[in-house]
Amino acid sequence: MARPVGAGVVTIIGGFFILLGGIIFALLGAIFAAFGYFSGFFFIGLGLGLLTIIVGVLMLALPSMHLIWGILAIVLSVASIPFALAGLILGFILTLVGGILAAVWKAPVDRTIEGKTVPPASG
């Protein structure tokens, strides 16, 4: 079965950068918490990074739902801007590209008739 491998791999790599940005943002929140300003806002980036990695893996595991995974990756990349320092910019860009690649991916056409391979159309 054909899979959007490029889209999945790029999204997973972008997810790691978003997770790294989320960790930095969470550490910043821990510093604020030491001064009495606790907020769960700083930990949302960690969840976004993990969800982005999961969406990238699902692109590879369930390629029939590539459009849904692509749209989710795009939404998660945009959500990483305020919550995970945009994945250190690189995570945002990689996840956005991976989501677009997954959304526009087309499965190759099976060119077999009764067990025989049909040559591609000329022209």
In a domain, 26, yes or no: yes
Distance CA 119, CA 114 (A): 14
Q: Which pTM was predicted?
A: 0.83
Per residue in 17-38, pLDDT (tens digit) is 999 998 998 888 888 888 888 7
User: What is the SS3 assignment for 111?
Assistant: coil
In a domain, 123, yes or no: no
E strands in 1-123: 112-113, 116-117
Per residue in 55-108, pLDDT (tens digit) is 999 999 999 899 999 999 999 999 999 888 888 899 999 999 999 999 999 888
Per residue in 37-48, pLDDT (tens digit) is 877 788 888 999
Total length of the chain: 123
User: What is the domain count for the chain?
Assistant: 1
Look up residue 6 and give its two tokens.
Answer: 């490029």
* Adjacent-strand bridge partners of 73: none
